[in-house]
Every structure is written in structure tokens, then in C-alpha cells.
Amino acid sequence: MSDNINVPIRMLVFTSPDCYACPDVERIVHKHVGTYYSDMCHISTIDVQQQPKIAEKYNVRTLPTVMIDDEIVLQGLVTESDIRDLLWQQVTGSMMDREESFDARKETLLTISKNSFDSLLNEDFIRPNIGDYIHVGVMQQMMVSLVALDKLVPQLLYQAGKDVGLYGVGTYLMITLNPNIGTEFRAKERFEEVINGLVKYFSDNETINIPMKLADSAKIVKIKDDLAILRITGLASACGAPFVGEPLCHFSAGEMAGITQALTGKDCIVHESKCIGLGHEYCEFEIHVSDEPISRSQRESKEEYIVEDRSQHFQGILHDISRRLHESFISPKDVFNRGNISNEVHFTKLQQAIVNIKMADPFSGALLYAAGRQLGIFGPGRDILQRYLEDENYSWPLTLDQSLHVLNKFFHFGMMQAAKERADVKIIEEDGVLKVRIFECAMSSGAIDSGTTFCDFMAGYIAGRIQILTSKDCIVNETKCHGLGHKFCEFEISFVE
């Protein structure tokens, strides 16, 4: 894979168990992709009976349907030679698009990264009204729900982190934290200084005015030649997490790889060998550098799409995180095991991950939406909604007007505000359409016009909450966003007939 196309092209195959043409088309697509494009493409099979929302989002009514990026390329019964020709045409087209969009993604990343630099060192807040921290629980809810939905996500997060490390301003921050990196030119010693810098980067430290609060502490377990092992305690992406069965800190691993690669000039891969998500007490990262190009094993990404029990397993984990999030506001106990630092993390870390995956893989918008919607329907806070509903003497199911009224109160509820995912919520009516407007949203604040919205998770969350209040299936579309050059995010609500 060329350097610019470091995220595979997403191919979606929509099928259903009772579709007679699907198995053939699916087999041929797998055969051709496996033979000619195995490094470049990732196939996700979507059973429309299990994932009706995703089929609905792409308006898929014929089976089988094959999509590349956001475009339908094959539909219905087609011959093998048709499939071969179309794949060739579409994959090459998509590769060229990626080359172009890579520059836009780099520019957006650099802006977000510069914003965070100004926030950290110059106390120039990106979100003037609520400040630049979010609760770690918010970050974990979003990350875990994404990982739960799709097997490609770990790889996307790793790559997002790596690009942030390579093209962001993390390298300048590293030199600020450890000036020796800038003066050491002997290869082996320089690698050691970079690792020393990473220790400071991931520790709560005073060099920075507004600390990132990425983790409680970090230390070197081992450093020898081309390998270093870094142990991190209280890392925001995993602290306090229950047993998940897989590592959770893909973005941090990728960021370490990108920063190390940029500062040593050597190829670098990072493997998270221990993680709180795997039942360990801390996270541990093996950092390998080499003068030769090295490739990371990507076993995970080769696996198939979602399975039922996996989503149930993750439902439990999400419930646990949400419960802790709630508990952290009412109890003085350190429920996220963060040691000396609070339950906050600089919001740009979450933003860098979300923005990067959204721009690299258009399908991630649908995944983020689905994840947010799940949390909206099944997540905590339903008791609060119920209380507001009773306060207003509304009888369930509510009208859209009523449910927005309740939702607005819910969004201003102290605990929701304290998580600092967003600053303010306004419900407005324009040309007879009801809209939800959100200011200083954690996913997009400070981003430049990048030609796309970034808050699909929030849109899904609003859809889920409205659905439980109105008992009607609804669709929420983000029409304004920082990612489109606006100063706030706006969501339009419509119902499925």
C-alpha cells in the first residue's frame, strides 16, 4: 500500500440470509479482492436484517449491493466479468480520490493539532465557555462503542494516531518536553531521548500550562537497541475499564509510532502487549524501530464483520463505563483508577481520532451514528428523562415537540454538562423544521472546513433519545458543523414513515 493510502478502501457487501444471489456475488467479490487488492481493500459484510439502520442510511433496497466508500457500485445479480471490471474501475478511482483527500485530511489534522498546542502551552482555549477537557468516560464510551461495531476500527484508530504523530505538532511538544531530542544526533541515543520524551508526554507534568491529562504516569520498562517497552498507568482510553478481551489504546499506540518515526527518522511500529482492557493493571507498549520498512501484523482487520454475542458483550462493557461515569460525579471514589489526576482528558485527543477516521473512511460516519444511537436507546439517563416527563405531566409516547422539550432539559442536566461533551444545547424551529443546535461540541470544535460533518455520534445519540421518548423511528441529520465551516453544530430531525 502506498504511504498516502494507509487506510484500506472500505467495501460494503449488503446481504441477507434469504437472498439467493448474495452468496455467489459475495464469493466472487472476496475472490477478486483477495487476489488483486488484498492490501488495499477491506470487505465488511452487512446483513440487512441485523443492521437495518445501515441499509436505511445508504438506501439499499436491492440485494446484493456492493458499495465502495460511499457509492453503490454493484446491485443485484451480475456476472463474474462484470464484477471484475467494475471492481478494477472503482478501486483505482477510489485510490486516486484518496491521494487527493489525504492532503485535506493532513490540513485538518494540523489545524486541530495546532489548536491543542495553543491550548496546552498558551492557555488559548478552543472552547472558551467550557474549557478544553472532557470526562474520560465520554471518550471511552465513544471508542468502545466504535470498536464494538466493526473489526476495522482498531486499525483505523492506530492509523489515525500514527498520522497525528507524523503530521501533527506532537513532535514540537516532545522537543518542548525533552529538549535533548533536538540536540542528540547519535541514532541509538536519540531513540532513547525520544522514549524519555514519550514518558513525559504520557505523564501528568508541569512543563505544560494546561496538561493533556492523557495518563497518570509512564515509565520505561526496558530499552535495548531498537526496542523500548513503555508502561502507562491510568491511560485515558482504558483507565478503569472492565475486562474487554482486547486492547483499547490503538490511537495512543499509533501516536507513539508516528511521533517516534518522525523524530528518529526510522520506521516504527508499536504493539500494545498489555492493556487494562485485557485485564492488566496498566497498559504496556512495545516500540520497535528499524532502518528497514517494517509492517505491523493486522490480523484483527482480516476478520469478519460483527457477530451477535460480541455486540452483547460490548453492551455490558458500555453499561459499565456509563455507570462509572455517573458514579464519578456522585462519589469521591476513584472509579476510573486515575490515581493523582482527575477524570478529565484534553478533548482534542478524542477529536483527533474521530476526525481522522471520519475523513479516512466515509463508512465510519454510519458506524458512529449507529454507535451513538445504541447509546441513546440503551444508555443511562432514562430515569432522568422519565422524571422530566412526569414533571411536565406528559403521557408517553410524547410528540416531537414534547420530546425535544424533555431532551433539552436532559441536555442541561448537571451531570450531562459536567462531562463537557458540549457547552450548550438550543432547540430551535426554522421554516417549520425542528432543529437541535449544539455549541462547543467535543468532536468538532475548532476544526476548519473539511467538507464533512464530524458529529455523527451525537446525531445518532439524539435519534436514540427521541426514539425512546416518541416511540417512533427517527432520523437525525447533521446539517451544520465546524467541519463544514460553521461555528456550531445543527441537527435536523425527521421521522421514518
Q: What are the cell numbers at 384?
A: 432522568
Regarding 450 and contact with Zn ion (CB under 5 A), the answer is no
| Shortest reach from residue 342's CB to Zn ion, in Å | 19
Distance in angstroms (rounded) separating the CA atoms of residues 172 and 259: 10
The Cα–Cα gap between 246 and 72 comes to 33
The Cα 228–Cα 191 span in angstroms is 9
Q: State how beta strands 433-439 and 424-430 pair.
A: antiparallel
**How many amino acids of this chain bind Zn ion (CB under 5 A)?**
9
74 φ, ψ (degrees, to nearest 5): -140, 140
d(CA 290, CA 191): 11
Our finding on whether 481 is near Zn ion (CB under 5 A) is yes
With cell 497518570, the residue in question is: 216
**Does residue 67 belong to the site contacting Zn ion (CB under 5 A)?**
no
Give the residue from 244, 292, 295, 290 showing the smallest Cα distance to 271. Answer: 295
According to CB under 5 A, which residues from 247 to 266 bind Zn ion?
A: 248-249
User: Interaction with Zn ion in 91-110: which residues (CB under 5 A)?
Assistant: none
Instruction: Specify the residue, 33 or 442, whose C-beta has the smaller distance to Zn ion.
Output: 442
| Residue 146 C-beta: closest distance to Zn ion, Å | 15
For residue 283, the minimal CB distance to Zn ion (Å) is 3
Peptide bond between residue 64 and the one before it cis (omega within 30 degrees of 0) = yes
Q: Which CB sits closer to Zn ion, 53 or 271? A: 271
| Burial class of residue 242, CB neighbours in 10 A (0-12, 13-18, 19+) | middle
Residue 230 engages Zn ion in binding (rule: CB under 5 A): no
Distance separating alpha carbons of residues 474 and 495, to the nearest angstrom: 4
280 phi and psi angles, rounded to 5 deg: -80, 170
Kindly give, in sequence order, each residue whose CB lies less than 8 Å from that of residue 395, ignoring residues fewer than 6 positions away. none
Least separation, in Å, of the C-beta of 294 and Zn ion? 22
Query: Does 149 interact with Zn ion (rule: CB under 5 A)?
Result: no
Which residue from 283, 318, 353, 493 is in contact with Zn ion, where contact means CB under 5 A?
283
Residue 150 cell numbers, joined: 466493526
Q: How far is the CB of 106 from Zn ion (least distance, A)?
A: 20
Stretch that binds Zn ion, among 36-44, 170-178, 411-419, 454-462 (CB under 5 A): 454-462
Is there binding between residue 28 and Zn ion (CB under 5 A)?
Answer: no
Applying CB under 5 A, the span of 79-87, 125-133, 169-177, 280-288 interacting with Zn ion comes to 280-288
- Which CB, 344 or 456, lies closer to Zn ion? 456
Per CB under 5 A, which region of 42-50, 237-245, 324-332, 351-359 contacts Zn ion? 237-245
- ∠ Cα 164 343 178 (to 5°): 45
The answer to the question of residue 139 lying near Zn ion (CB under 5 A) is no
At CA 23, angle to CA 20 and CA 24, rounded to 5?
A: 95
489 counts as binding Zn ion under rule CB under 5 A? yes
Say how far apart CA 203 and CA 206 lie, in whole Å.
Answer: 10
Determine the Cα–Cα distance for residues 324 and 339; give it in Å rounded to an integer.
15
Residue 455 in contact with Zn ion, rule: CB under 5 A: yes
- Dihedral of the alpha carbons of 220, 295, 161, 419, in degrees to the nearest 10: -80
Instruction: Give yes or no for residue 355 binding Zn ion (CB under 5 A).
Output: no
Residue that has been written with the C-alpha cell 411536565 in this structure = 392
Alpha carbon distance 480, 454 (integer Å): 10
**Binding of Zn ion at residue 74 (CB under 5 A)?**
no
Q: Closest separation between CB of residue 271 and Zn ion, Å?
A: 11
Stretch that binds Zn ion, among 51-59, 184-192, 267-275, 321-329 (CB under 5 A): 267-275
Which of 12, 83, 238, 354 contacts Zn ion by CB under 5 A? 238
Interface with Zn ion, residue 444, by CB under 5 A? yes
Would you say 353 or 389 has its CB closer to Zn ion?
A: 353
Smallest gap from residue 250 Cβ to Zn ion (A):
9
Among 40, 120, 208, 275, binds Zn ion (CB under 5 A): 275
Least CB distance to Zn ion at residue 33 (A): 31
The yes or no reply on residue 389 touching Zn ion (CB under 5 A) is: no
* 436 scored as a contact of Zn ion (CB under 5 A): no
Is 317 one of the binding residues for Zn ion (CB under 5 A)? no
Cell, residue 26: 459475495
Interface with Zn ion (CB under 5 A): 238, 248-249, 275, 283, 444, 455, 481, 489
